[in-house]
Amino acid sequence: MTLIKKPVAAIAGLLAGALFLGACAPAVESDPGTEKADLSKLKDEFYKASDPGKSPAAATQRKDSFVTTINKPGGVFLPGFYDNGWDGNAVQPIFASLVVFNDAGEPVPDLAEKWEVSSDNLSYTFHLRKGLTFSDGSPLTAEDVAFTLTLLNDPAYAGGVDFSDIVIDGTKEFRKGSASSLSGITVVDPTTIRIVTQKPNPLALRTLGGPVISKAYYGKGYVKGKLDYLKSLYSKPLGAGPYALEQYVEGQEIRYRANEHYYNGKPSIARVIFKVVSSDSALQNFQNGDIDHGGFGSDPATLKELQGLGFANIRARVVSDYGAIWVNNKKPALADTKVRQALYYGLDRQQIVDAKFKGLGQVADVFAAPTQWSYTNDGVTSYGFDAKKAGQLLDEAGWKTQAGGTREKDGKKLTLSYITTKQDDPVIPIAKKDYKDLGIDFVPEVLDSNTAFDRLNNGDYDLAGFRSNGLSDPNDAVSEFGTTDPAINVTGYSNPQVTALIKKGVSTFDRAARQKIYTELYQKLSQDPPIILLDYRKSLSAWNARIQNGELYTTGSDEAALALAKLKIAG
């Protein structure tokens, strides 16, 4: 039950759209790259603390707590139901999954100690660990797994977990008929569950093996087709992870207490605190000892400051995500492929990357992170900054320059709003200048994150900046562009060739075959771009050397909760 396939993780803003193409998009004249991108400046590095004894008193005196940062949680602490990606971070300590995936995308046992997949890749049998319980001491059994899967396939479910390319047997009868359960789910015994699917899919293990929720707790008011009752439980989560929610103070912090019933033993650190800290103040909080761990952006100057503290263990890691500008393809002007191509060519993305990352970033042209096995820019259109070409494309699309320098079509000016949550978003000044030179009226709107998400999900925007979730499988970055479900495809993008390739990409387990499919898919998505890719990045994280095993918590993988449980405080 991989959670939230929506493009709403750590954001610099947001975006959405909808485009319906009846035929393949026109190709763009370009100089396609034939070499793999130069990633020499994007390699993981580790810097060991030079003097742990310099740890500030505020941190050293904190004997039983680990304090890290979070940006702007929305308070929906239920896997599969949140829209805000920071809520995804917030639930990780609370809930445990059947299976998690490490940084290499390999499965790691969590609640399930083992599993078997049938030879036809349609049947999955999970064997749970013995004696599992939720944090309140109530038993966790295969019945809870069955309930979780049932809930995520309920006809009223509108979250981001997508089973459309897996399809559990009996889904149609359950959703549209009188069936009260999914016939493809069989609880063999309290620790064994078998799930039969209709489509072979290399992502099925991840989707079926996600976070497990309690049937006794979350199923009390369950009636098929009516899920609103769950809203009252969003702020009162119950899971089987290493920590349980103790207190949530909106805009300030989330407090967790160690789960004494955790299957791998009660964590040695009694309390974990996610403190709401802005990126601008994270370094100061770390210097003062107010936090033990944090992310510190991608500035080389910050790396030097962290090194100068002495007590900081530092990891500079290539992040498996990408930054982009989402485009609302539902807007008439933006439904035109040539206009989206023009917006690409007409924006100096290298200048944006330099402003954001100061040498620790790279312009993105592929719907995959450079760390992923599927990454290749072979044959991909590279949208170098070319204002002349952008202007030609706008002319061809019918947006002509008027006497005052503005672009108009059918008497209407080309005006584009841009949603972001950051006052210092470098896209604003750079896009404002570049697009003004093209005759486009670029109107930035800086909003709080909840308003921005609402605007995104309601389609009330033209452009919006965002960062993707962490990417593991290549399907993670493209799946939304291949579905008509508005809860998943918030761009509304539709291209039959792209849709076919996306489905084909998850129809085989053969990696070499998948690589060929994604190579073609990346080419098609560059010719008919649904959004504007901006960057890949190398990110700095640091932790006080008093926190042992801190490096485990900086991988960015699904193993975050497992790593959190292994942290210890020296001395």
Residue 466 to residues 250, 347, 421, 533: CA-CA distances in angstroms?
Answer: 23, 16, 9, 10
pTM: 0.77
pLDDT tens digits, one per residue of 397-423: 999 999 989 999 999 999 999 999 989
Please enumerate, as own/partner, the contacts of 453-457 that have beta carbons within 8 Å and a separation of 24 or more.
453/8, 453/14, 453/74, 453/83, 453/84, 455/14, 455/419, 456/8, 456/14, 456/15, 456/16, 456/326, 456/419, 456/490, 457/16, 457/83, 457/490
Specify the residue for token string 């841009």.
Answer: 418
Superfamily of 95-238 according to CATH = Dipeptide-binding Protein; Domain 1 (3.90.76.10)
Give the per-residue pLDDT at 492.
83
> Which tokens go with 140?
């966790």
Residue with tokens 């978003």: 425
From the list 303, 305, 306, 293, the residue with the least C-alpha distance to 69 is 293
User: Would you give the distance in Å from CA 329 to the centre of its chain?
Assistant: 21
- How many CB atoms neighbour CB 53 within 10 A? 10
Every domain of the chain and the residues it spans? 95-238, 323-539
Determine the Cα–Cα distance for residues 323 and 413; give it in Å rounded to an integer: 28
Give the CA distances from residue 502 to residues 164, 265, 380, 483, in Å, rounded to whole numbers and listed in that order.
12, 41, 16, 9
For 420-450, letters b (16+ CB in 10 Å) and e give: bbbeebbbbebbbebbeebbbebebbebebe
The tokens for 138 are 């109530």
Which residues does residue 312 pair with via DSSP β-bridges, in sequence order? 544
Which residues are paired to 420 by β-bridges? Answer: 13, 446
Predicted local distance difference test score (pLDDT) of residue 19: 19
Superfamily of domain 323-539 in CATH is Dipeptide-binding Protein; Domain 3 (3.10.105.10)
Residues of the chain with pLDDT under 70: 1-42, 555-558
